[in-house]
């Protein structure tokens, strides 16, 4: 039986090639203008089989939040094509990135007869991608994995770059591996069920790419932010693909975070991590903390004479239009400093930050006095 989707128009897809030598792979960004949900699943199956033509055993590891909308329909579609499918659900939430959940998956994979030719299909946000990706990286010394991100954050960030892993109590992302996927399918149709707050949170990382290395994209965002907020699928395809291109460029230069180039992705994140750690668990979503953190970083850059007010104004406008928070009234400044001193970017007791000089360019700046950091926080409380 010929897959029916052969007749579907594919011109609206974008393909991004992530160049990593023999670990190179493709990100396919699709939208919903030309497809309904059923057709989108057929298309996903086509895309998977196109890249992994030898697929005989698919191991679907999906966030329970997308079980009925994505994982189960894809399971039926693949089964209908005579592919053996084993499927397991991952409970929603960060606590699933644990040793216990990883062990449960390993044992389940053993009982499901997973072997080296099996292909893991991770379906969900960054939690699922990190956990299932790490399970794939470790089981039988490494299985191929297809990432199907279903949050905006995971589409533009965690599914690109090959970092996988879990948390230890009190130590986020402490155990993991670089494990590149064979294919990433970012279909914005899967975002239909994503709550607004999660969606908006992902926009912070999208805006980040414009500030750190793509001034044209930042300008595009200024023009198209309303369409993006309405989740217009054309705007989404553009935003997702340009964000992935941006991350792929950075990661391609520095796959394993050795040259320092990859650090620019942490723009706003030194502040954001301190905000997240001091705000109390679940108070702020990651992207919300990143939005506030970018504001603090921009103010710090201005105070150091490295950037002008116009940069902060443009960034502020875009964040506000996106409905992202730009202030952190509950800031516990000593607590934040304490966390920042322990940040990986600290060198010999002096703080280091990724700071913009203009829209589209950031630099890693060391030797920064704490008084400037305090002032930058206080500018956004």
Ligand X SMILES: NC(=O)c1ccc[n+]([C@@H]2O[C@H](COP(=O)([O-])OP(=O)(O)OC[C@H]3O[C@@H](n4cnc5c(N)ncnc54)[C@H](O)[C@@H]3O)[C@@H](O)[C@H]2O)c1
**DSSP structure string for 85-97:** EEEEEE-SSGGGS
Is 65 or 324 the residue whose CB approaches ligand X more closely?
A: 65
43, 97, 144, 163: the active-site residue: 163
Q: Could you say which residues in the range 279-318 bind ligand X, by CB under 6 A?
A: 286
Least CB distance from residue 162 to ligand X, whole Å? 8
Rounded Cα gap, residues 182 and 194, in angstroms: 25
Q: Catalytic residue, from 237, 286, 314, 352: name it.
A: 286
Q: Per-residue b/e over 335-360, b at no fewer than 16 CB within 10 Å?
A: ebbebbeebebeeeeebbbbbbeebb
* Residues paired with 85 in a beta bridge: 58
Q: Of 119-127, 232-240, 340-348, 361-369, which part binds ligand X (CB under 6 A)?
A: 119-127
Per CB under 6 A, the segment of 178-186, 192-200, 208-216, 323-331 that binds ligand X is: 192-200
Residue spans of alpha helices (H) in the chain: 37-51, 72-80, 99-111, 126-138, 152-153, 196-213, 215-229, 233-253, 269-279, 286-303, 309-321, 333-341, 370-378
Of residues 97, 242, 269, 314, which has the active-site annotation? 269
Half-sphere exposure of 243 (CA within 13 A, CB side): 26
Site for ligand X in 222-261 (CB under 6 A): none
Among 5, 30, 32, 128, binds ligand X (CB under 6 A): 128
For residue 196, report the phi and psi dihedrals to the nearest 5 degrees: -55, -45
Q: Which of 97, 208, 242, 247 is catalytic?
A: 247
Looking at the Cβ atoms of 134 and 217, the one nearer to ligand X is 134
105 near ligand X, judged by CB under 6 A? no
141 counts as catalytic:
yes
97 contributes a contact to ligand X by CB under 6 A: yes
Residue 111 bridge partners (DSSP): none
Catalytic residue among 81, 257, 261, 372: 257
User: Is 273 marked active-site?
Assistant: yes
Please state, in angstroms and rounded to a whole number, the distance separating the CA atoms of residues 196 and 324.
Answer: 11
Supply the minimum distance, in Å, between the C-beta of residue 130 and ligand X: 5
**The binder of ligand X chosen from 5, 47, 147, 150 (CB under 6 A):** 150
Does 161 bind ligand X (CB under 6 A)? Our answer is yes
Helix (H, G, I), strand (E, B) or coil at 252: helix
Contact between 94 and 128 (Cβ < 8 Å): no
Q: Which of 32, 118, 158, 243 binds ligand X (CB under 6 A)?
A: 158
286 is known as an active-site residue: yes
List beta partners, residue 123. 62, 148
Q: Which of 13, 72, 101, 198 binds ligand X (CB under 6 A)?
A: 198
Q: Which is nearer to ligand X, 222 or 254 (CB)?
A: 254
Strand partners, 368: 351
Instruction: Please select the residue that binds ligand X; options are 55, 58, 59, 65, rule is CB under 6 A.
Output: 65
Number of amino acids touching ligand X (CB under 6 A): 28
Tell me: does residue 62 bind ligand X (CB under 6 A).
no
Rounded to whole angstroms, the Cα distance separating 205 from 376 reads: 20
Q: How many helices (H) and strands (E) does the chain have?
A: 13, 11
Residue in 173, 283, 367, 378 binding ligand X, rule: CB under 6 A: 173
Q: Which of 75, 205, 213, 245 is catalytic?
A: 205
The reply to whether 125 sits near ligand X by the rule CB under 6 A is: yes
User: Applying CB under 6 A, which of residues 46, 77, 157, 276 lies at the interface with ligand X?
Assistant: 157
Q: How many CB atoms lie within 10 A of CB 326?
A: 17
Question: Does residue 163 carry a catalytic annotation?
Answer: yes
Rounded to whole angstroms, what are the CA distances from 283 to 287, 296, 328, 331, 343? 12, 19, 11, 12, 21
Nearer to ligand X, 287 or 311 (CB): 287
- Does position 32 interact with ligand X (CB under 6 A)? The reply is no
Please give the angle made by the CA atoms of 99, 100 and 103, to the nearest 5 degrees: 85
| Residue whose CB is nearest to ligand X in the complex, by number | 126
How far apart are alpha carbons 331 and 275 in whole angstroms? 7
Q: Which residues bind ligand X (CB under 6 A)?
A: 63, 65-66, 92-94, 97, 124-128, 130, 150-151, 153-154, 157-158, 161, 163, 173, 190-191, 193-194, 198, 286
Which residues participate in catalysis according to the annotation? 141, 163, 205, 247, 257, 262, 266, 269, 273, 286
């Amino acid at each position: 039986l010929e897959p029916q989707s052969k007749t579907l128009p594919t011109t609206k897809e974008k393909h991004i090639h992530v160049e990593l030598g023999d670990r190179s792979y493709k990100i396919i960004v699709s939208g919903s203008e030309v497809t309904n949900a059923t057709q989108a699943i057929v298309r996903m199956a086509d895309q998977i089989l196109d890249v992994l033509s030898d697929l005989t055993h698919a191991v679907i590891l999906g966030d329970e939040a997308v079980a009925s909308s994505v994982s189960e329909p894809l399971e039926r579609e693949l089964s209908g094509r005579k592919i053996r499918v084993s499927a397991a659900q991952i409970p929603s939430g960060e606590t699933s990135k644990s040793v216990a959940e990883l062990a449960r998956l390993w044992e389940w994979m053993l009982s499901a007869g997973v072997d080296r030719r099996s292909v893991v299909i991770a379906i969900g946000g960054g939690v699922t991608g990190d956990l299932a990706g790490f399970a794939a990286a470790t089981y039988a010394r490494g299985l191929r994995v297809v990432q199907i991100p279903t949050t905006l954050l995971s589409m533009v960030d965690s599914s690109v770059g090959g970092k996988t892993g879990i948390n230890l109590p009190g130590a986020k992302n402490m155990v993991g591996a670089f494990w590149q996927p064979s294919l990433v399918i970012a279909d914005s149709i899967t975002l239909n069920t994503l709550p607004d707050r999660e969606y908006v949170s992902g926009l912070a990382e999208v805006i980040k790419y414009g500030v750190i290395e793509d001034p044209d994209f930042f300008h595009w965002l200024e023009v198209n932010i309303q369409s993006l907020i309405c989740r217009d699928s054309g705007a989404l395809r553009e935003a997702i693909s340009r964000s992935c291109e941006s991350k792929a460029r950075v990661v391609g230069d520095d796959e394993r975070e050795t040259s320092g180039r990859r650090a620019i992705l942490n723009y706003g994140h030194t502040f954001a991590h301190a905000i997240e750690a001091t705000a109390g668990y679940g108070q702020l979503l990651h992207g919300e903390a990143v939005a506030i953190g970018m504001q603090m970083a921009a103010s710090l850059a201005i105070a150091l004479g490295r950037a002008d007010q116009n940069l902060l104004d443009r960034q502020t406008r875009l964040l506000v239009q996106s409905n992202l928070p730009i202030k952190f009234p509950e800031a516990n400044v000593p607590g934040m400093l304490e966390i920042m001193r322990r940040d990986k970017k600290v060198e010999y007791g002096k703080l280091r930050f990724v700071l913009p000089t203009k829209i589209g360019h950031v630099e890693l700046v060391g030797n920064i006095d704490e008084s400037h950091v305090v002032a930058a926080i206080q500018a956004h409380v």
